[in-house]
Structure 1
Amino acid sequence: MRIESTDHLDHPFADVAAWHRRPGALVRLTPPGLATIDRPAEGGLDVGRRVSVHLGPGMLPTGRPRWTLRHAALAEHDDALRFEDRQVTGPFRLWHHVHELRGDGSGTTVRDTIEAEAPGGGRVADAALADQVRRTLTFRTEQLRDDLDLHARYADAPRLTVAIAGASGLIGTQLAALLETGGHRVRRMVRGREAGEGEISWDPQRGVLDPADLEGVDAVVNLAGRSIATRMTPEAKQEILSSRVSSSELISRTIAGMSDGPRVLVQASAIGYYGAQRPGELLTEGDLGGDDVLAQVCRAWESSTRRAAEAGVRTVHLRTGIVLSDGGGALLPQLPLFLLGLGGRLAPPDAVSSWITLDDMVRSYAHALLTADLAGPVNAVAPHPATARELASTLGRVLHRPAVVPVPAAGPALLLGREGARELVRADQRVSDATLRDSGFEAAYPELEGALRHVLRR
């Protein structure tokens, strides 16, 4: 079967072509739930280059087969670029993808032509594959347009060298790719092995970070920390806290002690700072924090960067909302139930969730890095929070499934413990995005339904 797609971008051909040549382009064009790129730091369009990915359930319903593609041809002119990908090994009977970019006077025309045959063949399988491919091409166009819009807004800002701790996580992988497609240099901070090219080796548990490895680095982003999606045992609470504080204290005191080190530190935090249960309030960065487990973690997490701030390093704490993605976070575990027609709200109907898409989350990190007058705590949430009732009904509408079966409170409590369920699943927090918005940030997905349609390619 043959699938074709043509779109127009209001960006010069030179910018669009440069974006595609840089490392990170494939990561940004691949929905996280669709596939995982094996070597995300690599990039380029060189003929013969092989790209290996592991497919997820978004592309095939069973298993995670490895799929290897090879750049098979390349043609370039003053206002046109054409390159091809062919399957080397993988599940499809046929895969040949031709990408064409052409300057058209008012911007750039992007054309994709794909010849493909599903595993096992047959009309039904091919039709299902064609539907998935068309939805993915729409996602790619939106992603490319939104990223180019962001890069254009900061075209006059200097290109940075950015070290990222936690670069292999859901947010870190996408942030590194976003920065690289904008012409910035990324150095990934790695633990448990020797550093490779473009990497920095460190060990926060042992307090090991060589200041020499941060020479020439303009900014550090710290996303490191154990996942909070776990049962809140005493051991887990301690690990959640220590993994965050040890990493941020090490980075903070290291750069504070450098005479010519990084001048910006963007530190992850979370809206858990305010406490899980704040019904009826509109929470801003000036409000007092809560006293539950995650609030105490966030308070210690933010305080652990004090040495850097006192040394004159511009320090930003991004208080992350509930991140919507098909590749992880709070949304992913709900999808199977909704697809089976058994989905429903997780919290009391009027409990408010302050959410943000994964892509707007990583763009807020880039914005914090490149906005010279932004400092201190900043809520990273979308402009329009949603109640549990609104979240469930909108997700059901997007997936064309009912959303009438509330999840019993005992379910999340069984998995996360009563304390974890209260703070992670049944939270009630209406958080303001005014500081982020007033600093010039423009959310690509401010409304919940549009956000879910982008994230889930519907």
Structure 2
Amino acid sequence: MDTNIKHILIAGGTGFLGQALENYFTDKGKEVKILSRSGKAENHIKWDGKQPGDWLAEIEWADVIINLSGKSVDCRYTEKNKKAILASRIDSTKAICKSITMADKPPQLWINASSATTYVHSESQQMTEDEGIIGDDFSMNVCKQWENEFFNCQLDHTRRVAIRTSIVLGNNGGAFPKLKTITRCLMGGKQGNGQQYFSWIEINDFCKAIEFIINHPEIVGPINVTAPNPVRNYYLMQQLRKHLKVPLGIPQPKWLLELGAKIIGTETELLLKSRNVIPEKLTEVGFKFEHEKIDDFL
């Protein structure tokens, strides 16, 4: 890793991805600080995610800032939750933009979270950064406004990359433990018609991709951070049953998923949207995945 990069600041770094990045870069000998709302841990700096504050000194300290802030989309899309999902992303991006413009020594690189959900549901066309179709619904419009806020920030000395991340798989958080649980409960059949694509990336590959972006100054703009081989939902569930040695998986039709989503307080989009996303720019620059295929990961 670039020896000039010593200090990494992660905003919203208390979740699954933030903790994985903190451990990864700490193991590489980097000093990592976290901007969090509690500010309780030793290396955590308190912020509200809305306005520049005392944490401006950490912007001066950082060589790289990674912004992962945002309310979880694993909820019902009520009007209240929709407003909170959008505001948490826009407000934190604005606050970091203001702080960088105020800094005498701005960070070399700002990586801002985005999502592979920015692309339309697709069961055929692969979505690359240049050829992908960005649609017009709540989730896609959140991503569009989020990225617009990020790239409209006027900065002279800080490189910017928006990471359009797919579903990140690992044992310590995110979607994978939940998929294993439903499979062990014999509910691991196909979801909906099972033809929707599942774009994914293994957690260590995600961390390696962030390191790769840091080390390659030619990478700018939106980048798809996802494994190169999306799989159909029916195949994902079939292989999960195989690896967990579960003989039966009851299929879950759309109507049943809709009912279940209401009961547990989430949306079926997380399961039924076909994310057929390809990491064209990462692979063009030479990034190598440890886990290119879902079977390797499982």
- Please confirm whether the aligned pair reaches a TM-score higher than 0.5, indicating the same fold: yes
What is the SS of the residue equivalent to 1:278? coil
1:292 aligns with 2:134: no
CA distance in 2, matches of 1:308, 1:218: 18
Q: Would the alpha carbon gap of residues 214 and 270 (structure 1) be closer, same or farther in structure 2, given more than 3 Å must change?
A: same
- The one of 149, 156, 180 aligned to 2:26: 180
Q: Which residue in the other structure is 1:437 paired with?
A: 283
CA distance in 2, matches of 1:396, 1:309: 49
1:261 aligns with 2:106: yes
Alignment deviations for residues 37-78 of structure 1 (CA, whole Å, 9 cap, x no partner): xxxxxxxxxxxxxxxxxxxxxxxxxxxxxxxxxxxxxxxxxx
CA distance in 2, matches of 1:256, 1:206: 13
What is the SS of the residue equivalent to 2:99? helix
Q: Is the Cα–Cα contact under 8 Å of residues 197 and 233 in structure 2 kept in the other structure?
A: yes
Identity %: 27
- The one of 80, 87, 94 aligned to 1:249: 94
Shift of 1:297: 0.9
Shift of 1:178: 0.4
Q: Which residue in the other structure is 1:331 paired with?
A: 176
CA distance in 2, matches of 1:283, 1:224: 25
Q: Which residue in the other structure is 1:386 paired with?
A: 231
Q: Would the alpha carbon gap of residues 199 and 329 (structure 1) be closer, same or farther in structure 2, given more than 3 Å must change?
A: closer
Shift of 1:201: 2.4
Alignment deviations for residues 98-153 of structure 1 (CA, whole Å, 9 cap, x no partner): xxxxxxxxxxxxxxxxxxxxxxxxxxxxxxxxxxxxxxxxxxxxxxxxxxxxxxxx
Q: Which residue in the other structure is 1:231 paired with?
A: 76
1:170 aligns with 2:22: no
Q: Would the alpha carbon gap of residues 233 and 360 (structure 1) be closer, same or farther in structure 2, given more than 3 Å must change?
A: same
Q: Would the alpha carbon gap of residues 209 and 423 (structure 1) be closer, same or farther in structure 2, given more than 3 Å must change?
A: farther
CA distance in 2, matches of 1:210, 1:166: 13
Q: Which residue in the other structure is 1:214 paired with?
A: 59
- Structure 2 residue identity aligned to 1:410: W
1:363 aligns with 2:213: no
Shift of 1:252: 1.6
Q: Which residue in the other structure is 1:395 paired with?
A: 240
What is the SS of the residue equivalent to 2:25? helix
CA distance in 2, matches of 1:443, 1:309: 33
What is the SS of the residue equivalent to 1:366? helix
Alignment deviations for residues 173-229 of structure 1 (CA, whole Å, 9 cap, x no partner): 010110011111111112244x76433322123553542232221110001111111
CA distance in 2, matches of 1:205, 1:248: 8
Shift of 1:350: 1.8
Q: Which residue in the other structure is 2:188 paired with?
A: 343
Give ranges in structure 1 of 5+ residues lacking alignment. Answer: 1-153, 453-458
CA RMSD, aligned part only? 2.2
Of 163-172 and 305-314, more deviation after overlay is shown by 305-314
- Structure 2 residue identity aligned to 1:170: F
1:282 aligns with 2:131: no
- Structure 1 residue identity aligned to 2:191: L
Q: Which residue in the other structure is 1:409 paired with?
A: 254
Q: Would the alpha carbon gap of residues 416 and 288 (structure 1) be closer, same or farther in structure 2, given more than 3 Å must change?
A: same
Q: Indicate the structure whose relative CO is greater, using CA pairs within 8 Å and at least 6 residues apart.
A: 2
Q: Which residue in the other structure is 1:352 paired with?
A: 197
Q: Is the Cα–Cα contact under 8 Å of residues 5 and 64 in structure 2 kept in the other structure?
A: no
Q: Would the alpha carbon gap of residues 356 and 422 (structure 1) be closer, same or farther in structure 2, given more than 3 Å must change?
A: same
Shift of 1:420: 6.1
Q: Which residue in the other structure is 1:425 paired with?
A: 271
Q: Which residue in the other structure is 1:96 paired with?
A: none
Structure number with bigger Rg: 1
Give ranges in structure 2 of 5+ residues lacking alignment. Answer: none
CA distance in 2, matches of 1:340, 1:423: 22
Q: Which residue in the other structure is 1:113 paired with?
A: none
